[in-house]
Structure 1
Amino acid sequence: MSSTRGNRTRLAALAAVVPLTLLAACSQGSASAGSEDGEIRMMVNLTDNLNQAYWQKLVKPFEDKTGLKVKIEGPTGKSVAESFPQQLAAGTAPDVIQSIFPDDDTAPELLDLSGEAWAKDTPMYEDYAMGDAHYAAGVGTQTQSLVYYNKAAFEKAGIAEAPTTWEELSADLAELKKAGYTPMQTAGDYMTGLQLQQIFHPTLNQAHPKWQSDVKGKELAVGDAYLPAFQKYADWIKSGYIAKSDVGLNPSQADGNFLAGKVGLYTNGSWFAATLDKAGKLPFEVGVFSPPVEEGKSYPGPQGATMADPYMVNKGAADPDAAKQLVEYLVTDAEAVKTQLTSDGVFRQGSDVEQSAVGAQIQGILDDAPELVAVGEGQGNVRLPVTGFNPKFTEVAQSLYTGASPADAAKAIDQWVDENR
């Protein structure tokens, strides 16, 4: 009991730094947000395609079968990630929470799903364990380490097949440049660091499995782990395979350059498949491959991935059993899973859901991956001893565009980690 009170104090402290107008919105919502008999409140991130109508249609078969009613709620703040801690602190949190993962502050307020047989075979279930507890169950994965390529550009450049080693990749970039294409499309904002991590995941995780844990245990320095990636990236910038001006490019503009057929290679996650599908017929055929590995290493390498469409159950739910029934339906019912897999670039190992041509390639890469590995700061029990790693890593990667050496970049990320442990 005392640990729960202490946790609520921390959550209240977090909520205290949020503008009073947002807290007022929480309080106003709480007056009418209490669960009615047989009603399950579920907070989701609402988007243009995952709107209220989408969610209501998704849960209707569950309502019809069980007689329970699901109340779909959007976040009271900017996002579910912002709103959930606020509502926990205010005592107005929903029964089921979609789209975010547990952390040290929220985990004590969540139900452990370890005893639920239906949860054990859901995607990346073990990867998101905290200690021996499992607070999240998901529908699928977002595959992070993918390289999309222009097959027409490859043909014009005389490249017969996708590269599997770094040496082959560098040679292909040179040929694409000669053929008049932007060899590798990059972008500014969050994309700079994200892309470098994405393309390096398979190599890094063969050299240092669970590298985030090694950093936490002070057995490995982040700078040492990423120095080879910094060196390759700096070489590509120097050779003109990456345009220096790309560091100021909006990610959506980078997407547009690839869609227009100007680009040879574009590192991105599985969510880009939805962008391609929405774009319709392109002037070229798109291929997808898993990033290269060091010469002599096994290919394909480990695939960077995150759980997609995660769901968690509030320990203080009005009816915890009903809330768990809803989550079980969302992550195991064949039709519910199919709906979610085809809505937003989400994939699931072994799935036979019909996909677009690009989606089918991604499904193959996911199914062939020897393992799925934690990305960035990590997840569950495989985590760095710092928060805010991704923005800092992007800053460091961008410094390579403005003259920092790979050694400088490695030193900068190590210094930041040491100062923020």
Structure 2
Amino acid sequence: MRHNRLLTACLAAGLALTAAGCSAASPGAASGSVTLTYLTFETPDLTASFWKNSIDNAEAKVPGLTIKDIVSPNTDRDAYAKQLQASGQFPDLLQSITPSTFAQAGLLKPYPQDWVNANFLDPMGNANKGKVYIPPTNSQIIPMVFYNKQLFARAGISGTPKTWAEFTADCAKLKAAGITPIELGGGDSFAAAMPLTGVLSVDVLGKDPNWLRERYAGKVHFTDSNVEAAVAKYRTMVANGYFEPGALSVSYADSIKDFTSGKAAMYMMGSWFLGSIPKAGAADYGSFLTPADDGSVVVPYAVGGSMAISASTPSPDKATAFAESWSLNPANLKTLIEGDGAFPLIKGKTLQDYGVDVSQVYQDSYTYVLQNNTKVSAIGWVTNDDAMPSGLNDDFYAAAQALFNSNDVAGQMAKLDSEWTTATQ
């Protein structure tokens, strides 16, 4: 989930090239055998070995099917899928892409709704226009606030803050004790935007969960006073020196190292950070949510999943059978749970059923997913109907970087409104 990007209008240019489909059945398709292509990606956790094993396991459940693995050369799988589509090579199956624009262009086949309803806790969590193009197998909270219990204790802080006032008071105590309150990693724009995502999700979407859809309708704007007031909280955090010096020069990778080595007391990051907590010292870490003024609990939530299916695949039945088998395989979820901090959403399963080795902070964090609470779309991260227009995620992240060195909250919000208008024309 962490590297998804929305598509641009370039997709439309390629669509004309392959209206009837880009994949071709293997020579043996007439006799019931078929070869399908599958776009994947590799990370330190999702290795080539992981993909081979997961493909072999699902492939074995579909007689006559052979899967050809295509590995994305970079983290922007949407962009690479676009390139493949424009050259007539759109894959039959595509892992962890952003489905919205592909679906709007008629390139994806939805999953059977009865299968989705039967197997997942949040069946419409990542739906687009009432259809599910990627099974909602897992979820993330973006961001959570992770904290170092030893550094809290050193500053005389017991427990976690329940309100925004308590949160900023704790930041002041940490700073007074010579401890950097919050690690940022602002050299990567998405990481710089984590505090902004938190305050907007809580203060704006927490009060109006339909805000993003209302923004599409022109009923609300980034320049509205409630939005600017939330953004001002982030700006105040910067002005008060609650982030590490030179935060815009710290990369995302280095921010993980800095926080886990005790250089800061808190870290606002997506729940995938749970996979990076050192096992040897996991008991030293805890988590909480971005606090609201009134202490209410608001969960900035994003539902992810496995693979999309091309609408033009030559064997939709086999493609669907493979995708369903892969999506429900506990071994695949085990890797995502342990390595990427994913919160599973398959019905009838407990953590024990996945055979995972997870920390207490993971288990505590997962309770937010299972509880009946206020869940809102994590702005800038979701891929459902609350997804921002193409390109706006990056503009939103860039605004967070700009506000690190500028007091011009109104100007940055006006710029976002202008960019929204341009992207939706």
TM tier relative to shorter chain: 0.7 to 0.9
Q: 1:330 to 1:64 in 2, by over 3 A?
A: closer
Q: 1:364 to 1:284 in 2, by over 3 A?
A: closer
Measured against aligned partners, the alpha-carbon deviations of 1:205-236 in whole angstroms (never above 9, x if no partner) come to 22221211111111111232531222212222
Task: State the SS of the aligned residue for 2:147.
Answer: strand
Question: Are residue 170 (structure 1) and residue 168 (structure 2) matched?
Answer: yes
Check the 8 A contact 1:234/1:405 in 2, yes or no.
no
Question: Are residue 58 (structure 1) and residue 57 (structure 2) matched?
Answer: no
Q: Which amino acid aligns with 2:95?
A: Q
Match of 1:204 in 2: 204
Match of 1:293 in 2: 292
The alignment's TM-score, normalised by the length of structure 2, stands at 0.82
Measured against aligned partners, the alpha-carbon deviations of 1:305-327 in whole angstroms (never above 9, x if no partner) come to 33334311112222211111111
Question: Are residue 261 (structure 1) and residue 262 (structure 2) matched?
Answer: yes
Task: State the SS of the aligned residue for 1:147.
Answer: strand
Q: Give, in whole Å, the separation in 2 of the partners of 1:56 and 1:125.
A: 28
Task: State the SS of the aligned residue for 2:311.
Answer: coil
Check the 8 A contact 1:39/1:70 in 2, yes or no.
yes
Q: Give, in whole Å, the separation in 1 of the partners of 2:315 and 2:153.
A: 59
Check the 8 A contact 2:199/2:233 in 1, yes or no.
no
Instruction: Report deviation, 1:340.
Output: 3.8
Q: Give, in whole Å, the separation in 2 of the partners of 1:262 and 1:340.
A: 27
Match of 1:337 in 2: 333
Q: 1:380 to 1:226 in 2, by over 3 A?
A: same
Task: State the SS of the aligned residue for 2:340.
Answer: coil
Instruction: Report deviation, 1:104.
Output: 3.0
Q: Which amino acid aligns with 1:61?
A: N
Matches within 5 A, 1:128-167: 128-167=126-165
Measured against aligned partners, the alpha-carbon deviations of 1:80-124 in whole angstroms (never above 9, x if no partner) come to 312323333333222211110223344412112244424554365
Instruction: Report deviation, 1:281.
Output: 2.8
Instruction: Report deviation, 1:160.
Output: 1.3
Q: 1:283 to 1:260 in 2, by over 3 A?
A: farther
Task: Tell me how large the CA RMSD over aligned residues is.
Answer: 3.0
Q: Which amino acid aligns with 1:266?
A: Y
Moved more, 342-351 or 51-60: 342-351
Measured against aligned partners, the alpha-carbon deviations of 1:40-96 in whole angstroms (never above 9, x if no partner) come to 432111223312211121233333344343332213677431232333333322221
Q: Give, in whole Å, the separation in 1 of the partners of 2:178 and 2:28.
A: 61
Moved more, 123-132 or 30-39: 30-39
Match of 1:237 in 2: 238
Check the 8 A contact 1:141/1:307 in 2, yes or no.
yes
Measured against aligned partners, the alpha-carbon deviations of 1:306-362 in whole angstroms (never above 9, x if no partner) come to 333431111222221111111111222344433443343211247424422332222
Q: Which amino acid aligns with 2:302?
A: T
Question: Are residue 89 (structure 1) and residue 86 (structure 2) matched?
Answer: yes
Matches within 5 A, 1:3-402: 11=11, 13-14=13-14, 37-67=33-63, 68-75=65-72, 79-107=76-104, 108-118=106-116, 121-122=119-120, 124-188=122-186, 189-190=188-189, 191-224=191-224, 225-243=226-244, 245-277=246-278, 280-282=279-281, 285-295=284-294, 298=296, 300-301=297-298, 303-349=299-345, 351-353=350-352, 354=356, 355-368=358-371, 370-377=373-380, 378-384=382-388, 386-402=389-405
Q: Which amino acid aligns with 1:276?
A: I
Instruction: Report deviation, 1:173.
Output: 0.5
Measured against aligned partners, the alpha-carbon deviations of 1:275-314 in whole angstroms (never above 9, x if no partner) come to 224xx4349701111221122x53x21x223333431111
Q: 1:204 to 1:46 in 2, by over 3 A?
A: same
Match of 2:4 in 1: none
Check the 8 A contact 2:181/2:242 in 1, yes or no.
yes
Moved more, 232-241 or 341-350: 341-350
Unaligned runs of 5+ in 1: 1-8, 17-28
Q: Give, in whole Å, the separation in 2 of the partners of 1:150 and 1:77.
A: 33
Check the 8 A contact 1:12/1:86 in 2, yes or no.
no
Q: Which amino acid aligns with 2:214?
A: D
Q: Give, in whole Å, the separation in 2 of the partners of 1:281 and 1:50.
A: 22
Instruction: Report deviation, 1:419.
Output: 4.5
Q: Which amino acid aligns with 1:290?
A: L
Q: Give, in whole Å, the separation in 2 of the partners of 1:326 and 1:104.
A: 23
Q: Give, in whole Å, the separation in 2 of the partners of 1:321 and 1:335.
A: 23
Q: 1:244 to 1:392 in 2, by over 3 A?
A: farther
Q: 1:34 to 1:124 in 2, by over 3 A?
A: farther
Q: 1:202 to 1:404 in 2, by over 3 A?
A: closer
Q: Give, in whole Å, the separation in 1 of the partners of 2:10 and 2:406.
A: 42
Task: State the SS of the aligned residue for 1:154.
Answer: helix
Q: Give, in whole Å, the separation in 1 of the partners of 2:98 and 2:395.
A: 21
Q: Give, in whole Å, the separation in 2 of the partners of 1:368 and 1:275.
A: 24
Instruction: Report deviation, 1:371.
Output: 4.4
Check the 8 A contact 1:123/1:137 in 2, yes or no.
no
Q: Give, in whole Å, the separation in 2 of the partners of 1:416 and 1:12.
A: 20
Check the 8 A contact 1:147/1:267 in 2, yes or no.
yes
Q: Give, in whole Å, the separation in 2 of the partners of 1:12 and 1:216.
A: 21
Moved more, 324-333 or 118-127: 118-127
Q: Give, in whole Å, the separation in 2 of the partners of 1:77 and 1:399.
A: 26
Q: Which amino acid aligns with 2:243?
A: I
Moved more, 162-171 or 396-405: 396-405
Q: Give, in whole Å, the separation in 1 of the partners of 2:160 and 2:85.
A: 49
Measured against aligned partners, the alpha-carbon deviations of 1:391-417 in whole angstroms (never above 9, x if no partner) come to 222332233332323334333333433
Instruction: Report deviation, 1:149.
Output: 0.3
Task: State the SS of the aligned residue for 1:263.
Answer: coil
Q: Give, in whole Å, the separation in 1 of the partners of 2:93 and 2:391.
A: 26
Q: Which amino acid aligns with 2:170?
A: D
Q: Which amino acid aligns with 2:383?
A: Q
